[in-house]
Amino acid sequence: MTTRYIMKSPKRVVEEMKDIATRFPYITHLYIVDDVLTFWPEHIVEICDRMDAEGLKFTFESSTRANLVTDELIGRLAKSGLIRLSFGLETIDPVMRVTMQKKVPIDAYPKANRFCSDHGVEAMNSLMIGLPCETRETIMRTLEWVAAQRDIKQANLAIAIPYPGTEFHEMAVAGKHGLELLSQDFSDYLRYGNAVTNVGDLTSQDLIDFQNDGFAMIYSKSWRWRSIWKKYGTIGFSLQMLRILRMWRKKLFRWSPLQPVMRHPKET
């Protein structure tokens, strides 16, 4: 309910980095807590200029919007240590994006991911299922679109959680947009393997099933396997392959949420 913000100057940010380097020399990687790191490009570029001038060799990561990066900017940040950047894609459904007030054009995401890849920066794209107005069809459209994008190497699939204090929580409590809140116990408010809402005809268990099989659907594409192995190593890669095999077994032998035209077992 405010437009007020507090931003540290590039000089102050780099002074804090120098302090970390002096007091904690074993720390080599930093997470810059900024939802839109590149909102003012000149600000983060000055930070990088000062890092270079001080000889600071940290790697760092942060988040931003896909329409606020350029090839030149990503290249500049990568020179000073940027190795990972996250984008909030959430969903490709236009109605749901209006409800969420997401104003970034969909075509900006593959382009931003390509800029990152060209400069050796890992791009992570956050997806959410179980948002207001969600249906099986909207989930499938998002998963199919992301799965087909060769420029998008990594995507994270979370179940939307109506955290108190958010507009989403107010919608869930009021039962708007097909939402039904199932728990007020905050220990249940987990984004993975658990859901505290029903949305339309999607139950909380449906959302969990979509999450599990959605990960497998996205990473079943062979052009993503290298990025999985690079990030998670042999064990992580093997676990992801096991998840993919389980998805295909479901599709062959029993119901899967990725087959929305089939009836759910509980409806038979």
What confidence tens digit (pLDDT) does each residue in 174-192 have? Answer: 999 999 999 999 999 999 9
Cβ atoms 151, 114 nearer than 8 A: yes
Neighbouring CB atoms inside 10 A of 143's CB total 24
If residue 22 lies in a helix (H) or strand (E), which one and from where to where? Answer: helix 10-23
Domains of the chain and CATH, by start: 65-255 (3.30.750.200)
What average pLDDT score do residues 181-207 get? 95
pLDDT value of position 268: 37
Look up residue 267 and give its amino acid.
E
The pLDDT confidence band at residue 261, using thresholds 50, 70 and 90, is: very low
* pTM metric for this prediction: 0.85
57/195 Cα distance (integer angstroms): 41
- Checking if the pLDDT of 100 tops 70, the result is yes
Beta strands 122-129; 179-181: pairing state: unpaired
Q: Is 177 exposed, middle or buried (0-12, 13-18, 19+ CB in 10 A)?
A: middle
| Four-residue CA torsion sign, 178, 184, 188, 192 | positive
Place of tokens 């970034």: 104
What average pLDDT score do residues 23-52 get? 96
What average pLDDT score do residues 95-99 get? 90
Q: State how far the alpha carbon of 264 is from the alpha carbons of 110, 207, 231, 254, 260, in Å.
A: 34, 13, 35, 10, 8
What average pLDDT score do residues 103-124 get? 97
What average pLDDT score do residues 66-85 get? 98
